[in-house]
């Protein structure tokens, strides 16, 4: 399983140019051959929401608590779209390439 920071950085990278849902984030991780579990991605998104690195873009009035309540139900969680915040963009712009 990947280091938490690698997954965190790559999820932010996925959100750097557009809003995305979990399915699209997982496709990006697959493309870059980053190993992950669905649970890790959901937990990473939850952590990012809690730390104001990303927001819920859709459904428009959805809250972090709604995401937390539904995050383990794949059919519901795929309906959420996420976008990077200014704080997330500032962090992403300073990621050092290895």
- Spatial CA neighbour of 77 closest among 24, 31, 21: 21
* Residue range 4-93 in CATH 1.10.10.10: yes
pLDDT (tens digit per residue) in 53-66: 999 999 888 888 88
CA-CA-CA-CA torsion sign (43, 44, 47, 49)? negative
pTM: 0.87
Q: Over the stretch 71-96, which tens digit does the pLDDT of each residue have? A: 888 778 889 999 999 999 999 999 86
Tell me the domain boundaries of the chain: 4-93
Neighbours of 9 (CB within 10 A): 19
User: Tens digit of pLDDT for each residue in 14-71?
Assistant: 999 999 999 999 999 999 999 999 999 999 999 999 999 999 999 888 888 889 888 8
């Amino acid at each position: 399983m990947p280091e938490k920071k690698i997954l965190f950085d790559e999820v932010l990278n996925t959100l750097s140019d557009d809003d995305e849902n979990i399915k699209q984030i997982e496709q990006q991780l697959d493309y870059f051959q980053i190993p992950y579990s669905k649970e890790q991605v959901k937990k990473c998104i939850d952590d990012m929401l809690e730390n104001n690195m990303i927001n819920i873009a859709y459904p428009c009035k959805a809250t972090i608590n709604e995401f937390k309540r539904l995050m383990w139900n794949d059919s519901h969680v795929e309906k959420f779209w996420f976008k990077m915040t200014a704080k997330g963009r500032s962090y992403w712009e300073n990621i050092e390439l290895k």
